[in-house]
Structure 1
């Protein structure tokens, strides 16, 4: 039984590659095909989640070390990193093939590309960014370059994981805050936070702010160099200046990082850590992230929905993340919850009740003494 469940997950994690296949196939079909990744992500996966249900199985501790070092799991994430760089280049080329296509086809192709590069791509970047070797971290930044969100590498690791579930964290949504209000606050706040973190690092290392050592400067420049390179490449391919490549690239980037931020919104909505009498906050525990153990959506998201374990033990690789019964549980997987978050009245009606239950169990965080 244990072996079969592990084997099912090994195969299941490959399902993420279905989305780029749908993106490419849908482009060549045209029409409704431009929306294939959207339909699959937000209709098919929620339906499969509903019928298949949850998977609360945890890998036995005796097997954790073996699975943590198994190259198969790294191969999947490493493969995606290179795939995304090429996929965005292909999508830009595809966008330039028929610039006069109807607006709804542009909309479908842009949204679908962003769902692939953000929903899967940034999830992989998040996983690789937590590794302690430079190669994995380099690949995480490579993925983030293709969606203009490289500062996430700094802010997420050294900002969000430190301040999560506190008022200091721009990526923690407050109770009663709609996703649309949260989007503006987190996009701007995370960018500012990354600059401050990098500035403090440079000061400690006695390095100049305006220098090649400032990663944030590179994070601004590299996406521009990448899209410039793609623009030249595509223009040469179509024998004209393919100007549509530039707005398409930035549009799919906005879709991609907006998808990241709606996931951030879902993961920590309304949850707060207690502030202790000394002014510090209690340590992060599994109760400080919303959890979802729905099997199918966890396959596609590399178990990101077991977010409680990730925040409590950030170094744990995706293949051995655990379900905790005490963690606050979402009523559905991320794809369904994303749709719910886009309709604030429905979101508040459902999630504020669950938040009340959480607070009645763990108590509202008191003010500092």
Structure 2
């Protein structure tokens, strides 16, 4: 491990902000969204992008290092500690509605950035424990179906009209939240059914991940209502909604209006580095475990976050993720900014849908 590898510790800045907000809600309940969506965009406006790639020998070393995996696994106890501490604090303290709102948004951001985002990385690993940690990280955001649909659905259908997680040209973020979240859930069940048929397994089987996920999700909701009041349980559910809406906002950025060309046979061209919007704004990159180098992730989905590459041929977001999300909240501004950047051949394909 090199000193430079410690840069990924910055991914814990958002949980730290949330902990400060939970500890001192009167003054800092909104610290996390302020840090994530005001301070980071300002910093990124005055910092240069980093487009350097690692040498092959460096990649080999970093692939073998357990340090990068440890950082991911550390998020599991941290996320649950922050979530439970926040719920206890809200339950025991006489907080104002504004302070509660700040904590709901703050914890939701943690569930999205350090929960779903880390689960996304671990969900691509084949080992049993990575898969289970991913499942537990998805649980508080009500997205336990994500890994199944993402790996078997999104990565296969990305940048096609058949993928609900690929935003269409001139589709607003708000419309996308609905079509993507509902579409992915439906797809997850369809994929599960096909997998069960392939394995000749029954619906009531341990091979039915969606059934297990549903049981875990219902158990999670039940525990919330048993250990807390119904009001606190509802707040936890809203925190999860904020978490998965953050994920869907990122999905919106990553593939907006990018389409693979369809061949005469009806099949689509292979996924390339040109089918995801890329971002090399350094702070956003390292805080999200290189998620913003999304082009290379889709090009080679088995690569670990610490060795993802920059491709000069990948379409680039003009701003980092936090700034881009803020712009996407204003659809007309987003369209004006992004539509001219969509490759012409993809725009022509999009207009036919």
Structure 2 length-normalised TM: 0.95
- 1:97-148 deviation digits (Å, cap 9, x = unpaired): 23x5222112111011101111222111000001121111111111001211
Report the counterpart of residue 340 of structure 2 in structure 1. Answer: 353
- 1:166-216 deviation digits (Å, cap 9, x = unpaired): 011000000010011111111110000000000111111111124443211
Q: 1:366: how far off?
A: 9.6
> Are positions 1:49 and 2:35 aligned together?
no
1:90 to 85, 90, 93: 85
Report the counterpart of residue 276 of structure 1 in structure 2. Answer: 263
CA distance in 1, matches of 2:223, 2:182: 27
CA distance in 2, matches of 1:359, 1:284: 18
Q: 1:367: how far off?
A: 11
Q: 1:63: how far off?
A: 1.6
> Are positions 1:267 and 2:254 aligned together?
yes
Q: Does the residue aligned with 2:280 lie in a helix, a strand or coil?
A: coil
CA distance in 1, matches of 2:232, 2:222: 9
Q: 1:20: how far off?
A: 1.5
Report the counterpart of residue 19 of structure 1 in structure 2. Answer: 14
CA distance in 2, matches of 1:146, 1:113: 10
Report the counterpart of residue 59 of structure 2 in structure 1. Answer: 64
> Are positions 1:80 and 2:63 aligned together?
no
CA distance in 1, matches of 2:184, 2:287: 26
> Are positions 1:311 and 2:298 aligned together?
yes
* Structure 2 counterparts to residues 190-339 of structure 1, below 5 A: 190-233=184-227, 235=228, 242-339=229-326
- 1:314-364 deviation digits (Å, cap 9, x = unpaired): 011000111111100000110001111111011001001111xx226x784
CA distance in 1, matches of 2:158, 2:19: 37
Report the counterpart of residue 169 of structure 1 in structure 2. Answer: 163
Q: 1:96: how far off?
A: 1.1
Q: 1:11: how far off?
A: 1.8
CA contact (8 A) 1:78 1:139 kept: yes
CA contact (8 A) 2:54 2:309 kept: yes
Report the counterpart of residue 238 of structure 1 in structure 2. Answer: none
Q: 1:223: how far off?
A: 2.4
Structure 2 unmatched runs, 5+? none
CA distance in 1, matches of 2:97, 2:212: 34
CA distance in 1, matches of 2:347, 2:237: 43
Taking a change above 3 Å as real, the CA distance of residues 7 and 57 of structure 1, as seen in their structure-2 partners, is farther
Q: May I ask how many residue pairs the two structures share in their alignment? A: 352
CA distance in 1, matches of 2:96, 2:215: 32
Structure 1 length-normalised TM: 0.91
CA distance in 1, matches of 2:350, 2:323: 33
CA contact (8 A) 1:275 1:366 kept: no
CA distance in 1, matches of 2:347, 2:17: 46
CA distance in 2, matches of 1:114, 1:367: 35
